[in-house]
Chains A and B, each alone.
Chain A
Amino acid sequence: MTKRKSSSILIFIFLLVVLAVYLSPLVLMVFGSFKSYSEIMSNVLSVPQSFSMKNFEGVFTSMNYPKSFLNTLIVTVIGVVGIVIISSMAGYKLSRVKTRYSYILFLFCIMPMMIPFQSFMITLVKIARQMGLIGNLYGLGIIYWGLGAPLSIFLYHGFVKSIPRELEECAMLDGCSPLRMFVSIIFPMLKPVTASVIVVNAMWIWNDFLLPLLIIGSSESSKTLQLAAYGFMGQYKMEWQNIMAGAILIIIPALIIYFIFQKNIVKGMVAGAVKG
């Protein structure tokens, strides 16, 4: 018994050391964000002399943080809401209707999970330009519908199989229309999957960089947080204290989403692991 206890203490200490080393870059980032220019150049590793918010205030304005935050929020909400609506409807129907055509359409819908984004980004930009989706946030959000739907349909499709059909048959007999039945009976039952779909897609869209770069590009007023970060950090070259403060400002919203939805993330990410 004592042997077992001491070995588990050893493992605990081992894990603690590993974790400390593992998270040390982030600790240095936090320290750095509070330092002045001369302090970060001379004392990289030490605890900051004072925890002044000066860097954060400067970065907050020069990155146009509130505007970029709002832009990212708009894109994420448009993207996620659209994905949830179209994928839940399609996933449900494709799972219930068992004909050859339905199966072919299902395969078509999930096939894009196998295609790397970089394999079609060049022509995606061309199409987006022809459709007038370039340079605005709504266009960006709408494009995410097509990119996020395959995985989400796959998740909904799998989950619908576990829902008994009796309820729908009853509703049908009561003269309920298909759309109304979906909205008031089926969709509420899909809640666990919807939570995962929301988390997986929200984290992805929030942190995505390449698609906004291609669609929004240098349009100053529509920059998302990631684009603003990129522009800002390139411009400040070696002013590390500002870069670290900017990094923290961008990480915080994602961190908050993570802690709120932590349980769903575990489920959703494991499910999302299928995404290729």
Chain B
Amino acid sequence: MNKALKKKTSHVLEFLGFTMPAAIAILLFVGIPFLMCIYYSFRKWNGIQKGSSFIGIKNYIRAFTNDSTFLDSIAYTLLYAVLAVIFINVLALFLSVILEQSKVFAKGLFRAAFYIPNIISLIIIGFVWKFIFSRAFEAIYSSTGAALFGWSWLGEPKLAVASTVLVTVWQALGFYMLIYVAGLQSVPDDVLEAATIDGAGKVRRFFSVILPLIVPSLTVCTFYSIASSLKMFELIFTLTGGGPGSATTSVALDIYNTAFNSNQYGYGSAKSVILFILVAVITILQVTVFKEREVEA
């Protein structure tokens, strides 16, 4: 064997040795399952018997024409995502700006305190809020008489949707504040001073100077909040269980029910592929739109 070839082989072997463990793990636990899901989405498969049979795009046709639970779950997921994304980002940005722009004492402590709900698992959050909505609201209602607390927050379909959004925003706020604060800290002081000298007020300064400069943070936060709200599962699992009826059944929860509760694995796979396409299309669109608006200071 000549020397050059030997050296090349050893380089290739070294490259493979470093990269293959990760590549194989990803292939085994994400790549192959995902491809198999696409494969099974065209088949009838109940998960218990070994065999499955090819049925073309029947699963997809059924999902869109003959499954009101699934269509409702898409409608709910989109509504939930829109509301959650708007409230999360507006509130997180608002609180971050107040924290950063003012000379408030103990900024770090505030940031840490707002972050606490984010440390708690969504399963626990669901149980805690169930308690708040039922027992605590009832107690507040009977002592103050405020109608707001007398409503059936988990029992009325529309209110249950609002509840899931409310709890999501509450849980996520601190995390998004962290990203916005990091973005705000990167806005150069001299630009702000120049704007102030030019006579820009606080509001004007925010919309004309700060906002355009923190578009990268906005891109990340919107992307992340869209992606995570489109696949929400755990919070709904314990807070509402998808109910009342199927008012708060998200696409992810519906996939879980279809596959693991009614043993329609093939059909569930088709829904999984639809969820993937939904998330991919929306996030790619969002990132393209936001990327165009990024400017440099």
Which residues of A does B touch, CB under 8 Å?
4, 7-8, 11-12, 14-15, 18-19, 22-23, 25-26, 28-29, 32, 40-41, 43-45, 82, 85-87, 89-90, 92-94, 97, 102, 105, 108-109, 112, 114-124, 126-127, 131, 142-143, 145-147, 149-150, 153, 178-179, 182, 203, 206-210, 214, 226, 229-230, 233, 240, 243-244, 247, 250-251, 254-255, 258, 262, 266, 269-270, 273-276
Using A90-B22, A112-B30, A229-B124 as known contacts, list a sample of 11 further A-B pairs with CB atoms less than 8 Å apart, ordered by residue number in A.
Answer: A23-B116, A44-B136, A44-B138, A90-B19, A116-B276, A123-B36, A149-B25, A206-B121, A229-B127, A243-B131, A276-B224
Are B28 and A146 interface neighbours, CB within 8 A? Answer: yes
In the complex, what's the smallest C-beta–C-beta distance from A245 to chain B, in angstroms?
A: 12
Contact A178 B14, CB 8 Å, known A109-B22, A122-B265, A276-B224: yes
**Which B176-216 residues sit within 8 Å CB-CB of chain A?**
178-179, 182
A-B contact count (CB 8 A): 251
User: Which residues of the partner chain A approach B179 to less than 8 Å between Cβ atoms?
Assistant: 269-270, 273
With A and B bound together, what is the CA distance between A244 and B131 in angstroms?
9
User: Which residues of the partner chain B approach A131 to less than 8 Å between Cβ atoms?
Assistant: 28
- Pick the residue among A32, A40, A120 that contacts B33 (CB under 8 A): A120
**Interface hit among B78-86, B104-112, B153-161:** B104-112
- Pick the residue among A4, A14, A29, A126 that contacts B128 (CB under 8 A): A29
* Pairs across A and B, CB under 8 Å, 8 listed: A93-B19, A94-B19, A109-B23, A118-B255, A122-B40, A209-B121, A244-B128, A269-B175
With A and B bound together, what is the CA distance between A12 and B132 in angstroms?
27
User: Which residues of the partner chain B approach A89 to less than 8 Å between Cβ atoms?
Assistant: 18-19, 21-22
User: Which residues of the partner chain B approach A178 to less than 8 Å between Cβ atoms?
Assistant: 14, 17-18
Query: What 1/0 mask marks residues of chain B from 93 to 132 whose CB sits below 8 Å from any chain A CB?
Result: 0010011001111000010111111011111100111011
With A and B bound together, what is the CA distance between A47 and B140 in angstroms?
14
With A and B bound together, what is the CA distance between A178 and B25 in angstroms?
22
- Pick the residue among A115, A116, A240 that contacts B131 (CB under 8 A): A240
Are B30 and A28 interface neighbours, CB within 8 A? Answer: no
**Which B135-183 residues sit within 8 Å CB-CB of chain A?**
135-136, 138-140, 143, 170, 173, 175, 178-179, 182
Contact A146 B127, CB 8 Å, known A90-B18, A93-B19, A122-B272: no
User: Which residues of the partner chain A approach B99 to less than 8 Å between Cβ atoms?
Assistant: 15
Does B63 count as interface, using CB distance less than 8 angstroms?
no
In the complex, what's the smallest C-beta–C-beta distance from B117 to chain A, in angstroms?
A: 7
Are B30 and A147 interface neighbours, CB within 8 A? Answer: yes
Does B55 count as interface, using CB distance less than 8 angstroms?
no
User: Which residues of the partner chain A approach B260 to less than 8 Å between Cβ atoms?
Assistant: 122, 214
Name the residue of chain A whose CB is nearest to the CB of B11. Answer: A97
With A and B bound together, what is the CA distance between A116 and B281 in angstroms?
13
In the complex, what's the smallest C-beta–C-beta distance from A216 to chain B, in angstroms?
A: 14
**Interface hit among B64-72, B228-236, B289-297:** B228-236
Are B124 and A250 interface neighbours, CB within 8 A? Answer: yes
With A and B bound together, what is the CA distance between A273 and B233 in angstroms?
19
User: Which residues of the partner chain A approach B233 to less than 8 Å between Cβ atoms?
Assistant: 118, 210
